[in-house]
């Protein structure tokens, strides 16, 4: 897959503007940080901001990851990606599925640890809370400090929801 002509990862459209690309379209950008791949989705709920992790269903409708959306029977095996901008409910935008990019984490998430869903929409953590689901294909290259934040040094490797902890 080569660079996608016209892809601006933080472009969003409202529901009244309609989709600009076919849902599920993949596009890539070459940057100083390497290749980044994005998926075009519709927001099933308001997505707060860039870096908030979303879960995507088979119709390419995204909602923010939390312990409800990732629960067995709801999310296991589904793709995930990091929003590139705030997207209004019913709107359209890009989520990152591969490469270095921003990821919302809870306080003190450590480098190179297993990340899991949390009760906080769009944020992951390394706390291993019982009942949360492991998100595979995500890693932090820099630890998150002492407060919830968007960590700019995450790496996405086609993340998806895995087993319940």
Residue 7 pLDDT: 87
Please state the pTM of the whole predicted model. 0.95
What pLDDT tens digit does each residue of the chain (165 aa) get? Answer: 455 556 899 999 999 999 999 999 999 999 899 999 999 999 999 999 999 999 999 999 999 999 999 999 999 999 999 999 999 999 999 999 999 999 999 999 999 999 999 999 999 999 999 999 999 999 999 999 889 999 999 999 999 999 999
Give the sign of the dihedral formed by CA 49, CA 51, CA 57, CA 59. Answer: positive
CB 31 within 8 A of CB 9: no
């Amino acid at each position: 897959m080569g660079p996608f002509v016209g892809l601006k990862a933080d472009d969003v459209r409202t529901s009244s503007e309609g989709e600009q690309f076919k849902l599920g379209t993949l596009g890539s950008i070459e940057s100083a940080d390497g290749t980044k791949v994005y998926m075009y989705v519709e927001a099933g709920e308001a997505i707060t901001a860039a870096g908030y992790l979303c879960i995507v269903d088979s119709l390419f409708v995204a909602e923010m990851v939390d312990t409800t959306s990732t629960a067995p029977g709801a999310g296991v095996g589904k793709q995930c990606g990091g929003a590139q901008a705030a997207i209004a409910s019913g709107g359209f935008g890009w989520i990152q599925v591969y490469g270095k990019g921003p990821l919302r984490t809870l306080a003190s998430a450590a480098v190179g640890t297993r990340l899991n869903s949390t009760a906080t929409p769009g944020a992951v953590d390394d706390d291993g809370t019982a009942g949360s689901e492991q998100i595979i294909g995500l890693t932090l290259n820099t630890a998150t400090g002492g407060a919830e934040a968007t960590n700019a040094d995450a790496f996405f490797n086609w993340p998806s929801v895995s087993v319940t902890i």
